[in-house]
Amino acid sequence: MASNTKKKVFGSEEALAMVEELRAAFDCGKTRGCEWRISQLKALIKLSEEHEKEIVQALHSDLSKSETEAFVQEIAMLKNSSKVALKELKHWISPEKVKTSLATFPSSAEIVSEPLGVVLVISAWNYPFLLSLDPVIGAIAAGNAVVLKPSEIAPATSSLMAKLLGDYMDNSCIRVVEGAVDETSALLEQKWDKIFYTGNGRVARVVMAAAAKHLTPVVLELGGKSPVVVDSNINLKVATRRIIAGKWGCNNGQACISPDYVITTKEYAPKLVDALKTELEKFYGKNPLESEDLSRIVNSNHFNRLKKLLDDDKVSGKIVHGGKKDEIKLKISPTLLLDVPRDSLIMSEEIFGPLLPILTVDKLEESFVVINSGPKPLAAYIFTNNKKLKELFVRNISAGGVVVNDTTLHLAVHTLPFGGVGESGVGAYHGKFSFDAFSHKKAVLYRSFIGDASVRYPPYTSTKQRLLKALIGGGILGVLSPTCSNLPPKC
């Protein structure tokens, strides 16, 4: 009896066998055809529509995510990504004609996007539906076979996706492997053609080291401390609502691009704090721990991590709003902290929860120094009506993405790349960038048998040398023919 209920082990052998099966399917050319890609993208839309209720329930079970957030920020976003890929696929797949130079005359050239092969997507728990399947859209659109490893920290969504993808997708080329570190480690031992990882920087290093063994390229979608700079010449009510929407309205701050901390001037801080308090109460009531619109903290580990940030001696007395906790329901109320020291715990790691420290400076320009002294964030936000300040911010702050006068919405613009820089990640996706992330850009040059200039070939007579020198020196050739590198030094 016991052996019947024993969980099936997924180890290195199983991982290798699975990759070999997928590679065989890929090598047959099954995933390359436009029809296959279209059918799989349509299947993703179909499963999202036909199982919307179960997806919402799974997200509620994993995170107490509200139905509105589940629909708008996960299901609708995924459907939209699939629709964009379906609409643009033929255009993305078409070879891109490019100019050639006189060195290859007569010729034509194009960039051909080819699938990479068999790819691995490892995703995180905070947007477990969207973050798992959005990269899969790119992998399918680009014509790859793909294995998805969802996060074990959102188990209801993980098992629902395994079931739905099993039922709706072509399982000869698309698989889901559920599990935690052991299963992921077994997958990481294999040779992949790309690994797309979403999660924290510590595990990203494990992923990159495993990928290096096979020279596998990676996309790493990571996090960081995304700042919000607030000027005093703004529409305070609108700014406040948008900060709240990006922080507590995104999975209660458990989102990679949620505002992590605010910087404003000493003079303006009290006004900003008052406005935040007023709007927070309007949105989530007098007892936000009871609000159905706020997600819970995902598990007790993360709850205790956040509790520790608040218990740090350096921030005692700095809480100006909230700070209430319900250890049973794993809820923490929206919490504002004013004037926290920069060497406090809360300012030394990504918060990823409902706590918002507000730092103050004498002049807003000082915020640039504060932001640039830390690792490069995934997003950076500024609220200002000062044109010069906007320009300075966009030019001088290095971040994955920047939004002026709002938060998080750049994620919804599929014509913008979404990804980090430095500690916040490597590579990008969304829209065409997803297709590109899973494609090789193959350079193709077409020549005919006419126009075979003898100047290219030995013996390199002085006449040929003079001609080549004139052509190259005059910049007429544009690029060097490879054989030119063999020319003697006097050439």
Residue number with CB closer to ligand NAD (64 or 151): 151
State yes or no: residue 125 binds ligand NAD (CB under 6 A). Answer: yes
CA angle 432, 58, 334 (to 5 degrees): 85
The amino acid that residue 116 corresponds to is L
Binding-site member from 62, 221, 260, 423 for ligand NAD (CB under 6 A)? 221
Question: Which of 84, 399 has the CB closer to ligand NAD?
Answer: 399
Q: By CB under 6 A, tell whether 361 contacts ligand NAD.
A: no
Kindly state whether residue 203 participates in binding ligand NAD, applying the rule CB under 6 A: yes
Smallest distance, Å, CB 294 to ligand NAD?
18
Catalytic residue, candidates 69, 183, 250, 256: 256
Distance (Å) of CA 41 to CA 31, 37, 82, 88, 142: 12, 6, 6, 12, 11
Quick check: 59 binds ligand NAD (CB under 6 A)?
no
Rounded Cα distance between 252 and 230, Å, is 21
CB contact burial 438-464 (16+ within 10 A = b; e otherwise): bbbeeeeeeeeeeeeeeeeeeebeeeb
Stretch that binds ligand NAD, among 91-99, 195-203, 303-311, 474-482 (CB under 6 A): 195-203
Asked about 183 being catalytic, the answer comes back as no
Q: Which of residues 135-194 bind ligand NAD (CB under 6 A)?
A: 149, 151-153, 180-181, 184-185
**Candidate list 115, 259, 357, 425; residue touching ligand NAD; CB under 6 A:** 425
Q: Does 200 bind ligand NAD (CB under 6 A)?
A: yes
206: contact with ligand NAD by CB under 6 A = yes
**Size, binding site for ligand NAD by CB under 6 A:** 28
352 binds ligand NAD (CB under 6 A): yes
Least distance to ligand NAD, CB of residue 325, Å = 20
Q: What's the closest the beta carbon of residue 364 comes to ligand NAD, in angstroms?
A: 26
Nearest distance in Å: CB 130, ligand NAD: 9
430 touches 438 (CB < 8 A): no
Any catalytic annotation for residue 110?
A: no
Residue 124 lies near ligand NAD (rule: CB under 6 A): yes
Closest distance of CB 486 from ligand NAD, Å: 47
380 sits near ligand NAD (criterion: CB under 6 A)? no
Q: Which of 123, 35, 212, 64 is nearest to 56 (CA)?
A: 64
Which member of 69, 74, 221, 423 is catalytic? 221
Return the number of other C-beta atoms located less than 10 Å from residue 335's C-beta: 25
Query: Of the ranges 116-124, 166-174, 303-311, 430-438, which one interacts with ligand NAD (CB under 6 A)?
Result: 116-124
Is 260 an interacting residue with respect to ligand NAD (CB under 6 A)?
no
With binding defined as CB under 6 A, does residue 208 bind ligand NAD?
A: no
- Site membership for ligand NAD, residue 199 (CB under 6 A): yes
CB 257 within 8 A of CB 219: no
CB of residue 167 to ligand NAD, shortest distance in Å: 22
Chain residues 18-47 in contact with ligand NAD, contact rule CB under 6 A: none
In the complex, minimum distance from the CB of residue 488 to ligand NAD, in angstroms, rounded to a whole number: 53
Closest residue to ligand NAD: CB criterion:
223
Candidate residues 142, 310, 364, 378; the one interacting with ligand NAD per rule CB under 6 A: 378
State which residue, 37 or 302, has the beta carbon closest to ligand NAD.
302
Shortest distance, position 187 Cβ to ligand NAD, whole Å? 8
Burial class (CB in 10 A: 0-12, 13-18, 19+), 388: exposed
355 near ligand NAD, rule: CB under 6 A = no
Residue from 223, 253, 259, 431 touching ligand NAD (CB under 6 A): that is: 223
Q: Supply the residues annotated as catalytic.
A: 221, 256
Applying CB under 6 A, which residues contact ligand NAD?
122-126, 131, 149, 151-153, 180-181, 184-185, 198-200, 203, 206, 221-223, 256, 350, 352, 378, 420, 425
